[in-house]
């Protein structure tokens, strides 16, 4: 603690059971010594029971914390926070989202604590809060109201100062001029010290951290003009620029406010996902009665009842009832899906007709809804190469603007000193690189949100940039081109001492340990195998009564004497015990109805499409022929798939891999862009660059089309931003632009960029435009 008093207070709070205050409070503490108060509060968040809502454990032993950051305004803030937090021992990865005002930090709990991270944020001039949906909405609403208040003060001040400025410009009598000057100074003061305060705060933070951002030239322009005007007023002679200062502040705030609202709109997708959760739910107690509780209090194993019209509060498995569930908010598929006993349901989906009793399996940050929200936010935060280049260019541009301003001031001071100040103000204002910094992230965020609403979730920043460069698309078969709803068509008993039902139960007992879609074809079994091992791309091996049992490919099940397949028209699995063949199981799957059309659309775009399957060559050829794919490879192991992708890449190809199984993870990681299906294993979804939430392959051509449109949009935005700055600089430097005109131009330039990016959410895919168009 910062002092014994704070320690005593904190101890009393915890001992009195009042620490829940820190979990549910909605307003920050009143300022006494803000830094000390925040330090004391941050230390409490090292407690495990206070971390459940905003920290989750990762499989590799690290933790991921999600913080709300108060005070970030631009890309310079993001750079500063990411670089400062990344320098802390134990921090593995940091992403800061400007639209969401959030920081997602992966760290090792033995090397650093969450309080260290929050204090690190505080040390560079920002405030950190544990992430909560209501807290985030409150912070964004606070930012909105604060912007409106500052805008109102600037607007009223500008109107009044301009009224007096007109009197000065039209030749007011001398004995009124001094009064007008002092009244103008009085009216401009709240505009500068209140409305323009965010610019000065951001500029000071940038300078203190030795990274000048776009607010530095803006602050120099406002502060310089105000001080010079105040000095002229005190002296009783010289030019005053209170009207320009006020008008510039008003126009700049107007542009920033509209940008903020645009960012709010583009980031609405991930926030709206969290809002799908109900505020309360019905928990079934030990006596079978229901009691009202909040989703945050649910634990895995709890039983809940979801009434018709209610949202499901947690991931779970239906234990009673049958009802259609609307999953459109997550998958983009608007037709409700029937869910009955044994089916899995997802938090945030809507029960439409009948009551369902559900056993909770995942809650809070571990639900699929939370995972999708994190992936969407990651996509909005993750910067592709073009965005990083734009940030660097904007940074260089600020330095160039400051040097240019010095040169312009020196020139005019030598020739017409009475004009030097307002001309250099125009240069500083007109060339502020706001539009340049907005050109790329606004377009990327808009398209990411649009595609997510259609069921195509992008989780890595390079996807939209890389899609137009793809030359080959490789599909897995089971669960990707096919529905993945396999069924056992035939059982051939080889060991006549056992019945078909007994062999089926044994096979099902082994398959119960697999996440592959094949496992869904087998019924539930009470036979419990031990030491079960999943051999990627081959099958499963387990122990029962001291014997080694295997199911999978023939050369895996019986490696010493591999039997021939009964035929090549089905997917065949062989069950064996101690290298003795016991039974064949013939499985079959059906092609997705949209697969053929999607493959043709991809071919029409100039892409080469292949099928790589672990199934036998006959099945691969049959499915490939149905889908319209001519290059089909069967009996492909994970190593074979990986080798094929690397071979294509060595020839200069850029490959997209679409798959869904655990055995697809190596090739998903190696592909230039990887897409996992909605039925994919957790590991496959983690390694994939994008996820088809709806399982609808038609979103792939849509993704390619939107990527092309995004690339074109970014080029338009960058071209406009650079062109505007290059055009306006000589006009401002030569004295053709007044400061207020420069402010309008700069704000309009930023709004044009934002408006152009927002068009991406409305543009319909144009048919026939190929990826190289």
Instruction: Note the pLDDT tens digit of each residue in 18-36.
Output: 444 344 444 444 444 556 6
Terminal Cα distance for the chain, rounded: 61
Whether 756 maps to a domain, the answer reads: yes
Q: How far is CA 399 from the centre of its chain?
A: 31
Residues 315 and 352 in one domain: yes
Contact 672, 653 (CB under 8 A): no
The tokens for 735 are: 């004295």
Contact 574, 563 (CB under 8 A): yes
**Residues 611-622 pLDDT 10s:** 988 778 888 888
Q: Determine the structural domain holding residue 539 and report its residue range.
A: 487-588
Global pTM reads 0.59
Whether 137 maps to a domain, the answer reads: no
The tokens for 595 are: 């697969």
Across the strands, what pairs with 674? 657
DSSP state of 767: T
Residue 23: the pLDDT is 45
**539 CB-near residues (< 8 Å, 6+ apart):** 550, 551, 552, 553, 556, 557, 573
The residue out of 85, 101, 131 marking a domain boundary is 131
Across the strands, what pairs with 96? 103
The tokens for 29 are: 């503490």
The whole-angstrom separation of Cα 544 and Cα 528 is 8
The whole-angstrom separation of Cα 153 and Cα 176 is 25
Contact 344, 317 (CB under 8 A): yes
Residue 134: the pLDDT is 67
Q: Which residue has the tokens 């007023």?
A: 233
The tally of domains found in the chain comes to 5
Residues 309 and 400 in one domain: no
Residue 767: the pLDDT is 38
The per-residue DSSP string of 457-520 comes to EE-STTHHHHGGG--EEEE-IIIIIB----EEEEEEES-TTS-HHHHHHHHHHHHTT--SGGGG
Beta strands per DSSP E along 529-579: 530-535, 539-544, 547-552, 571-577
Residues 676 and 736 in one domain: no
Residues 423 and 547 in one domain: no
Residue 13: the pLDDT is 41
Q: Which residue has the tokens 């660097």?
A: 392
User: What is the 3-class SS of 630-690, one letter each residue?
Assistant: CEEECCCCHHHHHHHHHHHHHCCCCEEEEECCHHHHHHHHHCCEEEEECCCCHHHHHHCCE
Whether 146 maps to a domain, the answer reads: no
The whole-angstrom separation of Cα 724 and Cα 737 is 14
The tokens for 88 are: 């802390």
The residue out of 588, 606, 631 marking a domain boundary is 588
Contact 556, 614 (CB under 8 A): no
CATH classification at residue 316: 2.70.150.10
The whole-angstrom separation of Cα 674 and Cα 337 is 27
Residue 238: the pLDDT is 67
Residues 173 and 215 in one domain: yes
- With H, G, I as helix, E, B as strand and everything else as coil, classify residue 268: helix
Q: How many other C-beta atoms are found inside a 10 Å radius of the C-beta of residue 350?
A: 19
Residues 690 and 630 in one domain: yes
Residues 20 and 121 in one domain: yes
The residue out of 571, 588, 605 marking a domain boundary is 588
The whole-angstrom separation of Cα 5 and Cα 13 is 12
The whole-angstrom separation of Cα 369 and Cα 349 is 9
The whole-angstrom separation of Cα 314 and Cα 362 is 6
Whether 289 maps to a domain, the answer reads: no
CATH classification at residue 87: 3.30.70.100
- With H, G, I as helix, E, B as strand and everything else as coil, classify residue 169: helix
Residues 746 and 671 in one domain: no
The whole-angstrom separation of Cα 217 and Cα 429 is 7
**695 CB-near residues (< 8 Å, 6+ apart):** 331, 677, 678, 679
Task: Name the CA radius of gyration of the chain, rounded.
Answer: 32
CB-neighbour burial class of residue 762 (10 A; exposed 0-12, middle 13-18, buried 19+): exposed
Residues 426 and 398 in one domain: yes
Whether 771 maps to a domain, the answer reads: no
The whole-angstrom separation of Cα 308 and Cα 550 is 45
Contact 362, 368 (CB under 8 A): yes
- With H, G, I as helix, E, B as strand and everything else as coil, classify residue 161: helix
Residues 305 and 432 in one domain: no
The tokens for 105 are: 């930090």
Whether 293 maps to a domain, the answer reads: no
Residues 465 and 606 in one domain: yes
Residues 416 and 526 in one domain: no
For the chain, list residues with pLDDT below 70.
1-37, 74-76, 99, 133-134, 136, 169-175, 209, 213, 238, 255, 258-259, 262-275, 328-335, 374-392, 394-395, 432-438, 661-665, 679-687, 739-740, 743, 747, 763-773
Residue 629: the pLDDT is 93
Catalytic residue, candidates 206, 243, 382, 476 = 476
The per-residue DSSP string of 210-224 comes to T---THHHHHHHHHH
CATH classification at residue 523: 3.40.1110.10
CB-neighbour burial class of residue 651 (10 A; exposed 0-12, middle 13-18, buried 19+): exposed
Is 476 in the active site?
yes
The whole-angstrom separation of Cα 707 and Cα 716 is 14
Contact 606, 472 (CB under 8 A): no
Contact 580, 551 (CB under 8 A): no
Whether 286 maps to a domain, the answer reads: no
DSSP state of 104: E
Q: How many residues does the chain have?
A: 773
CATH classification at residue 678: 3.40.50.1000
Q: Which own/partner pairs from 8-16 qualify as long-range (CB within 8 Å, at least 24 positions apart)?
A: 9/40, 10/40, 10/43, 10/44, 14/44
Whether 660 maps to a domain, the answer reads: yes
């Amino acid at each position: 603690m910062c002092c014994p008093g704070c320690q005593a207070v904190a101890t009393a709070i915890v001992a009195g059971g009042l620490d829940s205050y820190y979990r549910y409070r909605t307003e920050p503490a009143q300022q006494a010594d803000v830094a000390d108060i925040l330090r004391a509060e941050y230390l409490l968040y090292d407690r495990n029971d206070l971390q459940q809502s905003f920290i989750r454990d990762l499989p590799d032993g690290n933790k991921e914390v999600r913080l709300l950051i108060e005070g970030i305004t631009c890309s310079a803030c993001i750079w500063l926070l990411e670089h400062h937090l990344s320098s802390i021992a134990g921090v593995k990865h940091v992403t800061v989202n400007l639209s969401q005002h959030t920081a997602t930090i992966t760290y090792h709990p033995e090397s650093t604590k969450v309080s260290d991270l929050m204090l690190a944020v505080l040390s560079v001039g920002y405030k950190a809060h544990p992430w909560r949906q209501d807290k985030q909405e409150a912070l964004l609403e606070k930012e909105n109201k604060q912007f409106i208040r500052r805008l109102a003060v600037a607007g009223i001040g500008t109107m009044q100062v301009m009224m007096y400025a007109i009197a000065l410009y039209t030749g007011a009598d001398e004995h009124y001029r001094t009064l007008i000057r002092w009244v103008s100074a009085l009216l401009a003061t709240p505009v500068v010290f209140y409305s323009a305060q965010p610019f000065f705060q951001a500029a000071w933070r940038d300078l203190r951290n030795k990274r000048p951002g776009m607010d530095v030239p803006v602050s120099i322009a406002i502060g310089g003009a105000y001080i010079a005007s105040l000095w002229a007023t005190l002296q009783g002679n010289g030019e005053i620029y209170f009207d320009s200062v006020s008008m510039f502040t008003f126009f700049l705030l107007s542009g920033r406010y509209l940008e903020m609202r645009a960012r709010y709109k583009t980031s609405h997708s991930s926030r709206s996902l969290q809002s799908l959760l109900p505020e309360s739910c019905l928990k079934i107690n030990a006596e079978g009665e229901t009691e009202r509780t909040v989703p945050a209090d649910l634990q895995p194993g709890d039983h809940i009842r979801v009434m018709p019209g209610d949202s499901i509060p947690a991931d779970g498995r239906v234990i009673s009832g049958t009802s259609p569930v609307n999953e459109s908010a997550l998958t983009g598929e608007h037709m409700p899906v029937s869910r009955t006993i044994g089916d899995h349901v997802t938090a945030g989906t809507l029960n439409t007709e009948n009551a369902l009793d559900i056993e909770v399996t995942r809650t809070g940050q571990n639900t699929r809804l939370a995972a999708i929200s994190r992936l969407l936010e990651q996509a909005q935060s993750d910067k592709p190469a073009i965005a990083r280049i734009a940030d660097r260019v904007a940074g260089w541009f600020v330095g160039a603007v400051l040097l240019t301003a010095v040169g312009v001031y020196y020139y005019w001071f030598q020739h017409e000193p009475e004009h030097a100040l307002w001309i250099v103000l125009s240069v500083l204002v007109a060339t502020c690189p706001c539009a340049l910094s907005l050109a790329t992230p606004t377009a990327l965020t808009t398209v990411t949100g649009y595609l997510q609403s259609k069921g195509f979730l992008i989780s890595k920043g390079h996807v939209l940039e890389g899609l137009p460069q793809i030359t080959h698309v490789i599909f897995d078969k089971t669960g990707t081109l096919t529905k993945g709803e396999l069924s056992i068509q035939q059982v051939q008993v080889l060991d006549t001492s056992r019945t078909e039902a007994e062999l089926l139960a044994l096979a099902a007992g082994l398959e119960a340990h697999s996440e592959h879609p094949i496992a869904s074809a087998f019924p539930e079994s009470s036979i419990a195998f031990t030491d079960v091992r999943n051999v990627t791309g081959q099958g499963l091996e387990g122990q029962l009564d001291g014997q080694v049992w295997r199911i999978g490919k023939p050369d895996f099940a019986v490696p010493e004497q591999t039997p021939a397949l009964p035929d090549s028209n089905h997917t065949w699995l062989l069950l064996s015990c101690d290298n003795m063949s016991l039974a064949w199981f013939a499985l079959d799957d059906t092609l997705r109805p949209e697969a053929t059309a999607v493959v043709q659309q991809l071919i029409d775009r100039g892409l080469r499409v292949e099928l790589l399957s672990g199934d036998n060559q006959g099945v691969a050829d049959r499915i490939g022929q149905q889908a319209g794919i001519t290059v089909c490879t069967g009996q492909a192991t994970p190593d074979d798939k990986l080798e094929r992708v690397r071979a294509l890449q060595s020839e200069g190809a850029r490959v997209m891999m679409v798959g869904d199984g655990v055995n697809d993870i190596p090739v998903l990681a190696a592909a230039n862009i990887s897409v996992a299906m909605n039925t994919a294993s957790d590991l496959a979804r983690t390694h994939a660059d994008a996820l088809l939430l709806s399982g609808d392959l038609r979103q792939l051509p849509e993704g390619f089309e939107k990527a092309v449109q995004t690339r074109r949009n970014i080029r338009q935005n960058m071209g406009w931003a650079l062109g505007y700055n290059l055009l306006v600089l000589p006009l401002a430097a030569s004295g053709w632009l007044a400061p207020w005109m420069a402010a309008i131009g700069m704000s309009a330039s930023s709004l044009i960029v934002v408006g152009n990016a927002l068009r991406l959410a409305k543009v319909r895919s144009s048919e026939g435009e190929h990826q190289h168009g």
